[in-house]
Structure 1
Amino acid sequence: MPRGLLRVAILAVPGVQLLDVSGPLDVFAEANVQAGRPVYELCVLGTRPGAIRSSSGARLMPDEIVGESPNLKIDTLLVAGAPNAANVPADGQVVDWLRSATPSMRRYGSVCSGAFFLAQAGLLDGKRATTHWAVAERLAREFPAMSVDADALHIRDGRLWTAAGVTAGLDLALALVEEDLGREVAMRVAGQLVMFFKRPGGQMQFSRKGEAAPVGRSALQEVQRWVAANPAEDHSVASLAQRTGLSSRHFARLFRQEVGMTPGDWVEEARVTAAREMLESGDAAPKQVAGRCGFADVDTLRRAFVRRVGVTPAEYRKRYAREDMKVAIP
């Protein structure tokens, strides 16, 4: 357990997502309470003097400005995300400061799209990290020297800690508190803040990115719409090829070329999308959903659902079904 006061700094850029800053700060502040002594000294870093306007319009006053206090000793740095972080190059001064300052820190990381700032500073090269599911593919594409896990809520790779979107910053901060102060204190913090100590599943359960949508030439889109509207029908390559008037081999090759996946993978994705919608409505149990969505049995549905969504159908239904529509699971 580290001794002495630990300075935790959150770097907030203009347009920052407010919860990326306030969420982790509240976790560390509550840890001070639950530990019964001051453990963390909290600090908001700005990139320039004056108030920081967040994406919601609320303003933050920074405690320190990047580069203006060379003797500022930081134990833990988290770079907060912003809705436009993936689209706007980071301030060169900030990138230079990140490169020069992080080697002396015990640990550093990011929340949500804050990972893009670390990546631009080269601090994710050769590392495994995560970010918000909506920009994970872009992070991996633009910074191929790193490995991106689009499902993880938070990841540790040595001194580097990264979190997925927004509320996952609280999960990350709680993991840091557990590392510093132990499981018991971290559990008390979670209880006081009414949050999961270990949130079940990954972030793909919140994602709509993997939902099947028609793409490619019109003949292929027509087939895809047919599959989506009739998930329980026979959707073998041969049956789908017949609908387009193509040979099975030519259809499969054309489909993969234009859609980016095999017909079988797309059919599974479409069936899982249909299953998600049915589970969210709450009017059918997983066993019924399996039959209506073209899965051979509930175990096949479960395997496909976990593969695509990251949680079981039963868990998903419990979290997202309308309360007034839920039927009892036999």
Structure 2
Amino acid sequence: MRRPGAPRLIGILALPGVQLLDVAGPLDVFAEANLQAGALAYELKVIGTAPGPVASSSGMRLLPDTVIGEALRQCDTLLVAGAPHLADALPKPQILDWLSREAPRARRFGSVCSGALALAATGLLDGRRVTTHWAVADRLAQDFPAVEVVVDALHVHDGPVRTAAGVTAGLDLALALVEEDLGPDIAKRVASQLVMFFKRPGGQLQFSRRGTANPAGRSSLQQIQRWVIAHPGEDASLGALASRAGLSPRHFARLFQQELGQTPAIWVNAVRIEAARQMLEAGERPKQVASACGFGDVDSFRRAFQRQLNVTPADYRRRFETRADIG
């Protein structure tokens, strides 16, 4: 238990090969909160898995404050930082055993980025809503079906569990924890000092490239998919696609759903949104993009784009403008 007035202990588990920003980003937010609060609100500890420096994914070495198994007062918050290799190899059993014991003792626990895979392997995320980096979200859902994966969220709060999406979303999560603990005024000052959004607009899918446009299924369906990808502005209604495949609309829809796991309409919309993103990133204006990508008008395009990515086409385009474009 935390003594009244004692700083909240924030522990971040740094696995071998850790993504350095998954550790440093949240720590900087909590450290800035101490400065803005004018008091030691947080005590910060990096936890290693063995004595000695931790080699990060970038090659930079991180010297942990302590290692698992050493005496450490109960964490207020325990987070597992992500590491690129976790999609292929989970931590050793002794690390998972330590997590299984220590995480439930904390007031809240969670992960940043692919750290959710390690935490899920303990069973502590079963029945919880969580998020992770979009590139490993499918893997998390497949390997741990008892976990409800929220793909688009930047961070998710479910009971004592706090999880963040990829890399920089760890800063968003840490800022949300500061707001929980110290209130919005201090959290806003932290955001201002670190030049970050207090509430970042949109979700992580606006940054992802999930391979929606990769043809799948039997060859006849792949031919249809390739045609849609090459001609996103053409008629891609169910009737038109079924006719191209030489099938009845009902049979085509059933076959498509069976082999791709989604309806033709949902798949076509995703392809068109992806094509629209590429055009917006290249500087095309929303009106021209709407026409080129098969949307009836700019308003329907804006609604579809915002529904998918939680950001308007105009705002998305502005993120890729250069100084010359603005001038």
TM over 0.5: yes
Matched-pair contact (CA < 8 Å) for 2:212–2:267: no
Aligned residue runs from structure 1 range 148-187, under 5 A: 148-187=149-188
Q: Distance in 2 between matches of 1:146 and 1:119?
A: 8
Inter-partner Cα distance in structure 1 for 2:100 and 2:91:
13
> Are 1:282 and 1:326, in contact at CA under 8 Å, matched by a contact in 2?
no
Bigger shift: residues 55-64 or 303-312 = 303-312
Residue ranges of structure 2 left out of the alignment (5+ in a row): none
For the residues of structure 1 that align with 2:307 and 2:14, how far apart are their CA atoms?
35
Mapped pair 1:93 → 2:94:
yes
Give 1:6-155 correspondences, 5 Å limit: 6-69=8-71, 71-155=72-156
Q: Give 2:281's aligned amino acid.
A: E
Measured after TM superposition, the shift of residue 322 of structure 1 is: 5.2
Which residue of 2 is the match for residue 302 of structure 1?
302
* 1:180-199 correspondence to structure 2 within 5 Å: 180-199=181-200
- Looking at structure 1, the residues matched to 323 and 222 of structure 2 have their Cα atoms a distance apart, in angstroms, of 35
Asked whether the 8 Å contact 2:112–2:132 carries over to 1, the reply is yes
Taking a change above 3 Å as real, the CA distance of residues 321 and 126 of structure 1, as seen in their structure-2 partners, is: same
8 Å CA contact 1:210–1:308 kept in 2: the answer is no
Contact 1:19 1:167 in 2 (8 A): yes
Alpha-carbon contact 1:85-1:116 (below 8 Å) kept: yes
Structure 2 distance, partners of 1:221, 1:325, is: 38
Determine the C-alpha separation between the residues in 1 that align with 2:248 and 2:161: 51
- For structure 1, the residue ranges without an aligned partner over 5 or more in a row are none
The amino acid that maps onto 1:149 is V
Three-state SS of the structure 2 residue aligned to 1:320 is: coil
Opposite residue 291 of structure 1, the aligned amino acid is S
CA-CA distance at 1:170 after TM superposition: 0.5
TM-score, with length taken from structure 1: 0.92
Task: Decide whether the 8 Å contact of 1:45 with 1:63 is kept in 2.
Answer: yes
1:236 aligned residue: 237
Coordinate RMSD, CA, aligned:
1.8
Structure 1 stretch 309-318 or stretch 271-280: which is displaced more?
A: 309-318
Stretches of 4+ aligned residues off by more than 6 angstroms:
none
Secondary structure of the residue that 1:156 maps to in structure 2? strand
* Equivalent AA in structure 2 for residue 308 of structure 1: Q
Q: Is the contact between residue 24 and residue 173 of structure 1 (CA under 8 Å) also seen in structure 2?
A: yes
Distance (whole Å) between structure 1 residues aligned to residue 306 and residue 24 of structure 2: 32
TM-score by length of 2: 0.93
Between the aligned residues of both structures, percent identity stands at: 63
